[in-house]
Amino acid sequence: MSLLELRSRLSEINALNAANGMMHWDQQCYMPPGGAGARATHVSILSKMAHEMFTDSATRKALDAAEKEVGGDSENEALCRVVRRDFELATKIPTALVAEKAKLQSEAHEAWVVARKSNDFKSFVPMLEGMFELTRQEAEHLGYKDHIYDALLDQYEEGATAADCRAMFDVLRDPIVKLVKDIKDNGKATSDAALTGDWDIAKQSKYTESLAKAIGFDFERGRQDVAPHPFCTGWSIGDTRITTRFQPYLGSAIFGTLHEAGHGMYEQGSPEAWDLGPLAGGVSLGIHESQSRLWENIVGRSKAFWSHFLPSLQAEFPALASYDLDTWYKMINQVEPSLIRVEADEVTYNLHIMIRFEIECAMLEGSVAIKDMPEVWNEKYKDYLGITPPNDSDGCLQDVHWSMGLIGYFPTYSMGNLLSYQFWTTMAQDIPNQDELMAQGNFAPIHNWLKQKIYSQGRRYAPKDLVMRVTNKPIGADDYLKGLTAKYREIYSI
């Protein structure tokens, strides 16, 4: 009875969130410029309604009662567990602080856009100081045991801590810095210049959709549209949407689509019985990213994958017809230390994240003043990547996250990278012929394995528990480093 009441209450909040999700999707994909003002108003009203409805004492009452009721049923126990977690996250921070941060977010975001455009970090400092201060307050309300960072990270990756991140990066740092250096000093580079051109947009759209379809993104229960930045969203298992963009670099659409389709298939793979309820969808940002990176990098940048798709790619884009499989494989796996995270290759990517994590910790601890961020940033880029940003716009101003108050978010990208290899390596025990299947264009066994082990679990198990259940070990860098090193040493003949 209480469970029913809880579910009914949550279904109203779910409908409000679905409305907001669609408004966000539409804003990115179709909204005419004149719609912006009303959209902001509508989203703000609907968000407020959803937040108030969820944090109302009636939710707590229904949840308290439901928790007493479900003993023994593990699915309903899981439901209560995730609702409890969401409820605590939503109610621990005082409403006044939520409102203050929301206000600062919109101001800071605007200030960031201006500062980045005009390469003026100084003008952004007061906003950033305010944002770190409010986030620090948030963390105190959320509570933590060891490090203030833990409270923030937990919002995005349940149970993960700064110590986990430090351990992860400590293992990654040297081998990756060394691999990057080896590649730079001794590797045989292959030009990927041919990937940049004036590619037909309709063809890109058609071709990337065919790739998404091939790996198992269900277009009967989803679609792909064009947006300025690729993302995945959705409001039911039957309606999950991805976006892509078309740029001079053809890989942008191809690998972007595989990445978002990875997110999308995870969402599409929740059990139907859980649709519109709290157990449906992805369990954490790190696990979500592991699914997108698995399809983007391990599958989409593999030689086996392209042994199947290169002919159709070359038929669609004749300018690429002269490259053999081996050359093409090297072209799409070029490693180049660069300034911009979102354009980084698979090898250097985690170094970008490591830098951000170290800076976030220093800022939160107060060991470095926010005004000094550019120096720290540039030093770390020099140390880890061997390059120095010529300006702050391509340096510490490049990411939107901090202006939105998303502090403690970045490490989930690296966790996703590690986990993608960890899941893939585990899968190989059940499916030893992964390469052979990909070369046949037969992705169903791989998709089904992921669906059974991960997608269909939704939010049932906490991320750490899920990783343990699937791979029999906690998150680690072994599989990742082993896979990455083998792949790139071969590609660069080192």
By the rule CB under 8 A, 33 interacts with its own copies: yes
Strand pairing of 239-244 and 222-226? parallel
By the rule CB under 8 A, 32 interacts with its own copies: yes
Nearer to its own copies, 30 or 444 (CB): 30
**Looking at 3, 6, 9, 23, which residue binds its own copies (CB under 8 A)?**
23
Instruction: Identify any residues that bridge with 241 across adjacent strands, giving them in sequence order.
Output: 223, 233
Run of H or E residues at 484 = helix 478-491
Run of H or E residues at 241 = strand 239-244
**Looking at 22, 65, 194, 437, which residue binds its own copies (CB under 8 A)?**
22
Q: How far is the CB of 348 from its own copies (least distance, A)?
A: 37
- 346 flagged as catalytic: no
Q: How far is the CB of 33 from its own copies (least distance, A)?
A: 5
- Cβ proximity of 473 and 423 under 8 Å: no
Q: How far is the CB of 354 from its own copies (least distance, A)?
A: 39
By the rule CB under 8 A, 51 interacts with its own copies: no
Number of residues that bind its own copies (CB under 8 A): 40
- Cβ proximity of 81 and 66 under 8 Å: no
By the rule CB under 8 A, 26 interacts with its own copies: yes
Q: From the candidates 138, 260, 267, 289, give the one annotated as an active-site residue.
A: 260
Q: How far is the CB of 399 from its own copies (least distance, A)?
A: 30
DSSP annotation string for 249-288: BHHHHHHHHHHHHHHHHHHHTS-GGGTTSTTSS-S-HHHH
By the rule CB under 8 A, 41 interacts with its own copies: yes
Q: Which of residues 273-332 bind its own copies (CB under 8 A)?
A: 275-276
Phi, psi of 463 (to 5 degrees): -55, -45
CA angle centred on 399, ends 474 and 182, rounded to 5° = 60
Q: Dihedral of CA 79/80/83/84: which sign? A: negative
Q: Residue 103 half-sphere exposure, CB side, CA atoms within 13 Å?
A: 8
CA 329 to chain centre: 25
Q: How far is the CB of 263 from its own copies (least distance, A)?
A: 16
By the rule CB under 8 A, 271 interacts with its own copies: no
By the rule CB under 8 A, 61 interacts with its own copies: no
Q: Which of residues 208-247 bind its own copies (CB under 8 A)?
A: 218-223, 225, 235-239
Question: Where on the chain is the footprint of its own copies (CB under 8 A)?
Answer: 11-12, 14-16, 18-20, 22-23, 26, 30-39, 41-42, 45-46, 49, 218-223, 225, 235-239, 275-276
Q: Which residues are catalytic?
A: 260
